[in-house]
Amino acid sequence: MDSLIEQLKAMQEQIAALMERLQIASKAEEAARLEAQSAEAGFWDDAEEAQRIMQRIARLKAEVDKWQSIAQRIADGLELAQLGSDIQDDLSAEVAEIAQIVSKMALEAMLSGEYDRENAILSIHAGAGGTEACDWALMLERMYLRWIEQNGYKVEILDRTEGEEAGIKSVTMSVKGDFAYGYLRSEQGTHRLVRISPFDASARRHTSFAKVELWPDIETDIDVEINEKDLRIDVFRASGAGGQHVQKNETAIRITHLPTGIVVQCQNQRSQLQNRERAMQILKARLYDLERQAQMNELQALKGASVDASFGNQIRSYVLHPYQLVKDHRTNYEVGNAAAVLDGRLNDFMEQFLRARISEQS
């Protein structure tokens, strides 16, 4: 029983420290203040603002309730443990379950960035190398789709361009669910594949590259000013594998932001207007993230740190020949079972990235 008591006390201290770092008490006060505001006369006069506040209240209360609930559960378990050993077997099972919950919550506590809780927009682009690179981009698409499925997220393909012979040139998808952006932040950068090429008749070893980009898919309207004169909008017929799901008329939209050269495409919606609206949302997210990244780079430069803002950063290598190894070059975390990683088992890489990021900030 003493060991269970020690476990519970350690978890109690851990949860208390996390609640303090995440300012759970302050968030509870904010939720109470906003609830009082929502009861005032005229609150719904501005329906859009009122809806935004109600969403904020719901999110705050959910977060506060989750942390207070686990803190109370630990306190109850500790109280029972200190009463005696008659229920040790039942309490052991309860402590094991609590430990799993605390471990997951501690990981989610690392996702405390401004947009870590948001949905995500993820894009994969084949690098130089023709068919080989397009096939690697297709493998990455499958890897992320498997990860999305395994972790209970929802996905929507926004745009997809097939390769000329095999694979894909690019794909853009929306990943929906709590902390989608926070977890997937570990994936943005250049991914490198080394293998015997199935497209080489001489069975030589090839190295391929693909770039993964990520932006928060923010539900509320992003405050980014876009001058219509800075946009070139092209309309074209949606492409795909064929059949009833491919639009026969020109509904797909391509928007080019001339000052930055950013190009956004959307072709999955049923109408041209819907595709345009979704493409503009993505463009705003990308422009907002571009400005945020520029500010971060400027701050790092003032601190004296060396920052490489290019897209050439190789973050992870996937070696399939002459041995199997997946290695993350930022954390040095590696796994010998490359097939499992390519089948979507990315959580360990994500956790190592989050822990390294927390260590750098502390």
As given in the structure block, the two tokens for residue 313 are 């950063």
Q: Tokens 């977060």 correspond to what residue?
A: 63
- Angle value at C-alpha 182, between 180 and 185, nearest 5 degrees: 100
Query: Residues 6 or more apart from 321 whose CB is under 8 A from it?
Result: 194, 195, 196, 205
Asked if residue 316 has pLDDT above 80, the reply is yes
Handedness of CA 292, 297, 300, 302 (dihedral sign): negative
Higher pLDDT, 301 or 223: 223
**If you average pLDDT over residues 273-301, what whole number do you get?**
79
- Distance between CA atoms of residues 269 and 251, nearest Å: 8
325's tokens: 């190894």
Q: pLDDT tens across 105-160, in order?
A: 888 888 877 788 889 999 999 997 789 999 999 999 999 999 999 999 999 998 89
Bridging pattern class, strands 205-217 and 168-176 = unpaired
pLDDT for 249 equals 57
pLDDT of residue 282: 87
% of the chain surpassing 90 pLDDT: 54
pLDDT in the model for residue 278? 86
Query: What pLDDT does 312 receive?
Result: 47
Q: Does domain 119-302+312-361 have CATH number 3.30.70.1660?
A: yes
Buried/exposed 271-300: b ≥16 CB within 10 Å, e otherwise: ebeebbebbbbbbbbbbbbeeeeeeeeeee
d(CA 257, CA 283): 8
CA distance 260 to 253: 18
Element (H, E) at 57: helix 47-81
Query: What pLDDT, on a 0 to 100 scale, did the predictor assign at position 324?
Result: 95
* Whole-prediction pTM: 0.71
Give the pLDDT confidence score for residue 110 in this predicted structure.
Answer: 82
Q: How far apart are CA 309 and CA 305, in angstroms?
A: 12
Q: What is the mean pLDDT of the chain?
A: 86
Token readout for 288 is 């907002």
Domain ranges of the chain: 2-109, 119-302+312-361
pLDDT, residue 309, reads: 30
Give CA–CA dist 203/213, Å, rounded. Answer: 31
**Tens-digit pLDDT profile for residues 163-191:** 888 899 999 999 999 889 999 999 999 99
- Residue 358 has a pLDDT of 72
CATH number of 2-109: 1.20.58
Cβ atoms of 181 and 120 within 8 Å: the answer is yes
Q: pLDDT tens across 193-248, in order?
A: 999 988 887 878 889 999 999 988 876 556 677 888 999 999 987 765 443 444 44
Residue 300, pLDDT score: 54
**Three-state DSSP class for 156?**
strand
46: helix, strand or coil: coil
Sign of the torsion angle spanned by Cα atoms 323, 327, 333, 339: negative
pLDDT of amino acid 219: 61
Distance CA 2, CA 82 (A): 9
Secondary structure of residue 309 in the 3-state scheme: coil
> 261: pLDDT confidence band, cut at 50, 70 and 90?
very high
Q: How long a stretch of residues is the chain?
A: 362
